Chain A
Amino acid sequence: MKPLLTGWNLIKVYTFLVYIFMFAPIVAVVILSFNPQQFGSFPMEGFSFRWYIRLAQNDAILMAFKNSMILGALTSIVVTAVAIPAAMAFVRYEFPFKNALNTLLLTPIMIPEVVLGVALLLFIRWLQQPKSFMLLLIGHVVITLPYVLLVVQARLVGIKRVYEEAALTLGANPFQTFWEVTFPLLMPAIFAGMLFSFTISFDDVTATLFWATASNQTVPVKIFGMLRNSISPEINALGTVMIVLTISIPLLAGYLSRRFSKGV
């Protein structure tokens, strides 16, 4: 057993080092955001909320935050509304080309976002439509659709059909059956899918940079614009706000869902 133990310890140390690699840059962003100096760099001298106050007074950034929030919320609602019926069709029905169509709906995962960005922008341009908030919304719906579809589909497979059949036998129509039986059982997946799509939309930058305009900026696009004149403590502060926001949402959701499931 002895040599195995040392091997296992090496694996542990290795894993720990990978964690450090993953988190050191992120921790540095958070720490440096409290740097009172003009240039956000080591060594740190002092501790201040100066850059956070600057952020809170910056109208353009607040505007971007508002845009990102609205966009993320709308994306998660629209994409879930589109994904649920599709998942129902794939899991509950048999029809021709089923597998091919399922793969088609999942392809946006495998298409480079930069190509997606160019393609949609080109299409909109050909239709002679201006870049707008609508473009961001439909773009984000396409980007997030496969993820939500996968989550809802996986859960739907686990919901036994007998529940639905029982409701139908007892005289409920298909719509009632879905609304009163399937939908509540599907709730955790819907919630997870909405959360997932909100975060993807909130964080996306690769395709969004193609679609955003000066008046329709999201926070990542704004950060990209600010980066042009090197990294400042203000960017670190904005980054910290984003990190706290996007990390706390899934953690909170996980905590809540565990509490609710315990209560049942």
Chain B
Amino acid sequence: MEQKAWKPWALLAPSLSAVLFLLVIPVCFIIVYSFWLRAPTGADIPAFQFGNYQRFFADFFYPSILIRTIRVALETVALCLLMGYIPAYFFYRTESRHKSIFLILIMLPFWISFIIRTLSWINILGDTGLLNHVLLRMGIISEPLGLLYNEGAVLMGLIQYLLPFMILNVYVSLEGIDRSLVEAARSLGSTEWQAFREVVLPLSLPGVSAGCLLVFVLTAGTYLPPMILGGPGNDMIANLIFKRVIGTLDWPFGSAISVILLGILGTIVYTYNRYLGINQIFKTFQ
């Protein structure tokens, strides 16, 4: 087949220009904007100064939100791994003919709107929600427990949102393991547990690390669970961006916070890609 050099570029033109104009240039804009000044009248003044960044690091208020974001993201990663690895392993090892149904079921939440999945926890954890109702009925408690509007509730929402990502990443990686390796280990006298620990677990680590990265990045960039399920003390960095941009219309400061978030996540993703390769994550979406 003859190949003309311009052809691939013509085919790429629409998608490249879309990403260039709608993603790359806008992101450059928030970087530029983060150095601007905001006049007391609310107008934005072009400038080159670091006041917005200084303001972020001036006292402990904003950095503590940043630290909380990282802590909550790490907690979510740990809980997703704890809750996700075993089901993924179950999908890998099960010989049930309903395996595809199990898999479809765990994928279903992907198709349900994030906001509905988040607010659905109010029905479970609220003062008149399912848990309090059951506990009151059983006489275990005499007054509703305040289960909502704290970090625990935020974590519930985050896990429900991100667990399928973790399970799928781990499962894809498990499914790539040659089953004869496990059989070989077993026939050479190892127990099932040893075969898991020495063969399956190490080979599944690429999926585990890809899942962890994805869950971390998605948690650090979300504001909905803290906003709906959290209290005033549970705001994360994305909530801060939302409040500055939508609430007080402070564009330069909102841009500076966005740049800080993007810088931290970018560093993490870059480092990960450098040492482990990022393609594992994209594999999952196929």
Contacts and interface: CB of A to CB of B under 8 A. Distances in A.
**Do these two chains interact?**
yes
A88 B1 CA distance: 14
A190 interface: no
Given A19-B105, A126-B29, A210 B119 contact: no
Interface of B: 1, 3, 5, 7-12, 14-16, 18-19, 22-27, 29-30, 33, 83-84, 86-87, 89-90, 93, 102, 104-106, 108-109, 111-117, 119-124, 126, 128-130, 133, 159-160, 163-164, 192-193, 217-218, 220-224, 228, 238, 241-242, 245-246, 251, 254-255, 258, 261-262, 265, 269, 278, 281-282, 285-286
Contacts of A24: 124, 130
A54 B249 CA distance: 35
Contacts of A118: 30, 241, 245, 254-255, 258
A214 interface: no
Interface in A76-130: 81-83, 85-86, 88-89, 92-95, 101, 103-116, 118-123, 125-126
B130 A42 contact: yes
Given A21-B83, A119-B27, A227-B119, A114 B128 contact: no
Contacts, number: 267
Given A22-B106, A111-B262, A203-B112, 18 more contacts: A11-B93, A15-B86, A19-B106, A21-B83, A22-B163, A43-B133, A93-B3, A104-B24, A110-B278, A111-B27, A116-B26, A118-B30, A118-B245, A123-B29, A146-B285, A223-B119, A227-B119, A239-B113
Contact of A119 (B29, B112, B265): B29
29 contacts: A11-B89, A14-B87, A15-B87, A22-B164, A24-B130, A26-B109, A26-B116, A41-B129, A42-B128, A93-B3, A95-B9, A105-B16, A110-B269, A111-B23, A114-B223, A114-B242, A115-B258, A118-B241, A119-B29, A123-B26, A150-B285, A151-B285, A203-B111, A203-B114, A206-B224, A210-B242, A223-B113, A242-B113, A246-B111
Contact of B8 (A93, A111, A115, A236): A93
A226 to B, nearest CB: 10
A172 interface: no
B228 A82 contact: no
B120 A25 contact: yes
A25 B123 contact: yes
A247 interface: yes
A112 B122 contact: no
Given A82-B15, A113-B221, A231-B119, A119 B126 contact: no
The 8 nearest A-B residue pairs measured at CB: A112-B221, A41-B128, A25-B120, A119-B26, A93-B8, A42-B133, A89-B11, A86-B15
A170 interface: no
Contacts of A28: 120, 123-124, 129-130
